[in-house]
Chain A
Amino acid sequence: MGNIETAVNYSEEQTRYTAVKKGAVAGFPIFLGYLPIAIAYGVLAKQSGLTTFETTMMSVLVFAGAAQFMAANMMAQGALFLQIVVATFVLNFRHFVMSMSFMNKIRTLPLRWKFGLSLGLTDETFTVSSLNGEESKKQHGMYFFASLILVAYFSWVFGSFLGAIIGDALPTTLSDSMGIALYAMFIGLLVPSVKKEWRVGIIAIAAMLINYILMEQVGLEVGWAIVVSTILASFLGIMLLKEEEA
Chain B
Amino acid sequence: MIMATIIGMAIVTMVPRFIPAFIMEKISLRPWLNRWLNAIPFAALGALVFPGIMTVIPEQPWIGLLGGLTATIIALFNLNVIFAVVGAILTVFLLTM
Interface segment out of the listed A13-21, A92-100, A156-164: A92-100
In the complex, are the beta carbons of A181 and B32 less than 8 A apart?
no
Give Cα A107–Cα B8 distance, bound, in whole angstroms: 29
Give Cα A242–Cα B38 distance, bound, in whole angstroms: 10
A interface size (C-beta, 8 A): 100
Known interface pairs A100-B40, A203-B39; A189-B45 also in contact (CB < 8 Å): yes
- Chain B: number of interface residues, binned into ranges: 35 or more
Task: Determine if A165 is an interface residue (Cβ-Cβ < 8 Å).
Answer: no
CB distance from A159 to the nearest CB of B (A): 15
In the complex, are the beta carbons of A190 and B46 less than 8 A apart?
yes
In the complex, are the beta carbons of B20 and A204 less than 8 A apart?
no
A240 and chain B: residue at smallest CB distance: B39
In the complex, are the beta carbons of A183 and B49 less than 8 A apart?
yes
Give Cα A142–Cα B62 distance, bound, in whole angstroms: 41
A232 and chain B: residue at smallest CB distance: B43
Give Cα A58–Cα B29 distance, bound, in whole angstroms: 36
Residues from chain A with Cβ under 8 Å of B35 in the complex: 237-238, 241-243, 245
In the complex, are the beta carbons of B47 and A237 less than 8 A apart?
no
Known interface pairs A184-B87, A203-B42; A211-B17 also in contact (CB < 8 Å): no
Residues from chain B with Cβ under 8 Å of A230 in the complex: 40, 43-44, 47
Q: List 18 A-B contacts (CB under 8 A).
A: A61-B10, A95-B13, A99-B20, A101-B41, A111-B22, A115-B22, A123-B44, A176-B96, A184-B84, A190-B45, A195-B78, A204-B49, A207-B44, A211-B47, A229-B43, A234-B40, A238-B36, A238-B39
Residues of A at the B interface (CB closer than 8 Å) are 28-29, 32-33, 50, 54, 57-58, 61-64, 67, 71, 75, 81, 84-86, 88-89, 92-105, 107, 111, 114-115, 117-119, 121, 123, 126-127, 130-131, 173-174, 176-181, 183-193, 195, 200-201, 203-208, 210-212, 215-216, 222, 225-226, 229-238, 240-243, 245-246
